[in-house]
Structure 1
Amino acid sequence: MTHADLIVIGAGQSGLATAALAPRHGFERTLVLESADAPGGAWPRYYESLTLFSPARYSSLPGLRFPGDPDRYPTRDEVVDYLRDYARRLATEIHTAATVTSVTRQGDAWSVRTGDGRAFTARAVIAATGDYGTPHIPSLPGSQEFAGQVLHAADYRSPHPFDGQRVVVVGGGNSAIQIAAELGEAADTTLATRRPIGWTPQRPLGRDLHWWLKHTRLDVAPIRRLLEKVPVSVIDDGHYRTALERHGVDRREMFSRLTAEGVVWADDTKETVDAVVLATGYRLAFPYLIDSGALDSDGLPLHRGGIATAVAGLGLVGMEFQRSFSSKTLRGVGRDADHVLARLHRQRP
């Protein structure tokens, strides 16, 4: 049995930022438990061409500037390299290949167990696994009879396997647009959405959108409830919109069902389709917290700003709109981690 002041579950951007800030709040020994074989969270599993919509200057974790030109938009592999470099610099034990299976309260401490039988205890635990481990697969009528391929964006890597095929990408967010834009060069591609695609300029009045969010403070907590209700919009400097047009990627209303050969569009037109890529987002899931007393009947955490309200000594970092518009981003997780750590420290006996 290994004991620590704090156990952080997940070594992605949220977990690493939390571990970096923990000593400032009196947590002398912190352990990070990561299910993968290396730090980096979900980033190494994203599609190869993924590019951030935030420039490098707004993509840093606490204490380490993102390297290179601060005005460029980093790629997936650059983020992975950055996170792994960040992990190497931490004076924190990171246990990889350690999938947490249960977190339970035992007296004044938490008991944390992993799938390979290891056991840990800590005064406080922070769940920083986010939602990218649980892709949302919507119910598609006719999916059982469809003979083509249906995959989530979480399993999409590059357009090469789809050369010459007829592909439908479902979704109207940033990932859907990026994937459709590059698929269009290799395959006959259509975007299927339930509403028209909304576009947000990436550099209004010559300044990156994130500059405006920072200096107008539109991403601070009092505004977040309004932002949650804003329709999904794609951030673009014109590159992706142009790529869609150049490659002939059209947008159609979501199809009504799948058939053995393809799809039935909203106007009852049938079309043969080889593959459907679901860029339909992710859902929060904390299976290891099922017996913790921290979840509601739907399996979602009961919390206020990342502090569990049903149990003591448990925090969460990395959830969308947790405290602000940027809570789920590289630049936002540090601010939330600082908030959660400070309040957990006050709870300590």
Structure 2
Amino acid sequence: MTRQADVVVVGGGQAGLAAGFYLRRAGLDFVILDAQHRPGGAWRHMWDSLHLFSPAAYSSLPGRPMPVQPGHTYPEAAHAVDYLAAYEQRYEIPVQRPVQVREVRCEDGFLCVEGDTVTWQARAVISATGTWWRPFVPAVPGQDVFAGRQLHTVDYRAPKEFAGQHVIVVGGGNSGAQIAADLAGVDDVGLTWVTRRPPRYLPDDIDGRALFDAATARRRALEAGRPDTGGVASLGDIVAVSPVRAARDAGRLIHRAMFDHLTEHGFSWADGTTAEADTVIWCTGFRPALSHLAPLGLRSPRGRIATDGTRATDEPRLHLLGYGDWTGPASATLIGVGRPAREAVSQISDLLR
């Protein structure tokens, strides 16, 4: 079966919904295809203790502020899920789910988006699949001989499943610090937190509001031809949310240098020091989930697609939204995705006219 639309959006998380808001306002015929069974995007799959970095007022999509969650300055992930579900319903955004998009290809003058049962012929496509679905684990010697469990951030839910175990948490970013802090507060869980460089905490008074401001200032500087301010990366790697701050200040969040290799029952440093472990949690980041775009042949050897803003340089009918600074400053955040979504839809409207 084949159907047609002006625009097909691949991905129904926060970036897809922001695009949907502006597509509806522009009066374009569009559909959003989401692989998940229910609304909420990646927020539905986060660990139990996760809170947003910003207050609700600074965690909103275009048109509708996120309601305050009673008793919480920084809303829980479940509150974000409820917000996204309500947002989708309020603006009557046409999301079809679950639809697994297999590929996007050029055919008969259209961008053809092939789903499980239907192929859509689109005049333009917005890819908004994010990164959560493509976890990255670095190659480390000994991974194939380690007899314990190896998990990634995407697999972690709560400390209770690690009772009586010693856990290695690998990674010096936000997820590594937050999961290490989560485990550090449990008496019957042993923890070793390893990072490639000493953790860089942002000042305690900085939250998502300041991060958005830093990203915006960097964008404005670059657009004006001024020197790069460095954006968020210039401030540090770890937002000191209250659980992280509490664990750090209590002396429970102690890092060690990255180990040299894994052994059958643990890990070893270059100086010969060893330690035993039952589980490794790789908090080592993500890569853009772009396999559906492979038939277009746009990716460089480094895995990215060249873009001008959100628009693919070599395929002006394709826009990429929500993958981070690569496709718009802070575009992987709730508050930051609105501006690039608006700009993408504006360019698509001009193109279709």
TM-score, normalisation: structure 1: 0.91
Q: What's the offset of the Cα at 1:216?
A: 9.6
* 1:175 Cα offset (Å): 1.0
In the alignment, the residues of structure 1 paired with residue 270 and residue 57 of structure 2 have an alpha-carbon distance, to the nearest angstrom, of: 43
**2:202 aligned partner, one-letter code:** T
Q: Bigger shift: 102-111 or 12-21?
A: 102-111
Change (3 A) 1:307 1:192: same
Residue 203 of structure 1 corresponds to 205
Q: 2:190 aligns with which of 145, 168, 188?
A: 188
Other-structure match for 2:20 = 19
Letter in 2 for 1:188: G
What's the CA shift for 1:137? Answer: 0.9
* SS class of match (1:38): coil
String of CA shifts for 1:289-339, please: whole Å, max 9, x gaps.
Answer: 111233223442121111011113111110110355422100011111001
Give the letter aligned to residue 330 of structure 1.
L
1:332 aligns with 2:336: yes
Query: In 1, are the aligned partners of 2:53 and 2:241 still within 8 Å (CA)?
Result: no
3-state DSSP of counterpart to 2:325: coil
Contact 1:168 1:190 in 2 (8 A): yes
Partners of 1:201 and 1:239 in 2: CA distance: 15
Listed as ranges, the gaps of 5+ residues in structure 1 are none
CA distance in 2 between counterparts of 1:233 and 1:68 reads 27
Change (3 A) 1:258 1:216: closer
* Counterpart amino acid of residue 125 in structure 2: V
- Is the CA contact (8 Å cut-off) linking 1:171 and 1:192 kept in structure 2? yes
Runs of 4+ in 1 over 4 A off after TM superposition: none
Alignment pair present for 1:285 and 2:289: yes
Structure 2 matches for 1:308-347, cutoff 5 A?
308-322=312-326, 324-347=328-351
Separation in 1, partners of 2:208, 2:90: 30
- Following the alignment from structure 2 to structure 1, what is the Cα–Cα distance between the partners of residues 300 and 95? 30
Q: 1:215 to 1:286 in 2, by over 3 A?
A: closer
Letter of the structure 2 residue corresponding to residue 331 of structure 1: I
Q: Is the 8 A contact 1:213 1:219 kept in 2?
A: no
Query: Structure 1 pair 194/166, CA: closer, same or farther in 2 (3 Å)?
Result: same
- The letter of the residue matching 2:8 is I
Q: 2:112 & 2:220 partners in 1: Cα distance?
A: 32
User: Is the contact made by 1:12 and 1:39 (CA closer than 8 Å) also made in structure 2?
Assistant: yes
Aligned residues of 1:170 and 1:279 also touching (Cα < 8 A): yes
Q: Deviations over 1:77-124 (max 9, x none)?
A: 11111111111123232110101011112243211111x231111111
What does 1:93-108 correspond to in 2, within 5 Å? Answer: 93-108=94-109
CA distance in 2, matches of 1:16, 1:344: 16
Q: Which residue of 2 aligns with 1:267?
A: 271
Q: What is the aligned-residue identity percentage?
A: 36
Counterpart CA distance in 2 for 1:46 and 1:238 is 17
- What amino acid is the match of 2:35? S
Distance in structure 1 (CA, Å) of the matches to 2:41 and 2:181: 25
SS in 1 for 2:295: coil
In the alignment, the residues of structure 2 paired with residue 16 and residue 216 of structure 1 have an alpha-carbon distance, to the nearest angstrom, of 21
Are the equivalent residues in 1 in contact too, given 2:181–2:252 (CA < 8 A)?
no
Please point out which of 256, 261, 264 is paired with 1:257: 261
Contact 1:326 1:332 in 2 (8 A): yes
Contact 1:36–1:96, Cα closer than 8 Å, also in 2? yes
Matches within 5 A, 1:1-349: 1-27=2-28, 29-68=29-68, 72-114=73-115, 116-186=116-186, 187-203=189-205, 208=207, 210-211=209-210, 213-214=212-213, 217-222=216-221, 226-227=230-231, 230=234, 232-236=236-240, 239-244=243-248, 246=250, 248-322=252-326, 324-349=328-353
Does the aligned pair in 2 maintain the 1:219–1:324 contact within 8 Å?
Answer: no
Please give the TM-score of this superposition, normalised by the length of structure 2: 0.90
TM-superposed CA distance for 1:50, in Å, is 0.9
* 1:25-52 Cα distance to aligned partner (Å, 9 max, x none): 341x210000111122111111111111
- Cα distance in 1, alignment partners of residues 212 and 84 from structure 2: 24
Q: Is the 8 A contact 1:180 1:244 kept in 2?
A: no
- Give the total of aligned pairs: 344
RMSD: 2.3
Distance 1:244 1:284 in 2: 31
**2:123 match: secondary structure:** strand
Q: How many angstroms apart in 1 are the aligned matches of 2:119 and 2:211?
A: 46
Q: Distance in 2 between matches of 1:132 and 1:329?
A: 13
Amino acid aligned to 2:128: A
Matched-pair contact (CA < 8 Å) for 2:214–2:231: no
Q: Which moved more, 1:225-234 or 1:325-334?
A: 225-234
In structure 2, what is the Cα distance between the partners aligned to 1:246 and 1:5?
A: 56
SS at match of 2:217: coil
| CA distance in 2 between partners of 1:216 and 1:275 (Å) | 36
User: Structure 1 residues 317, 217: closer, same or farther in 2, change over 3 A?
Assistant: closer
Distance 1:317 1:65 in 2: 21
Q: Distance in 2 between matches of 1:14 and 1:107?
A: 28
Which residue is 2:225 aligned to? none
Report the more deviating stretch, 320-329 or 68-77.
68-77
1:201–1:237 contact (8 Å) kept in structure 2: no
Write the distance in 2 (CA, Å) between the matches of 1:18 and 1:209. Answer: 22
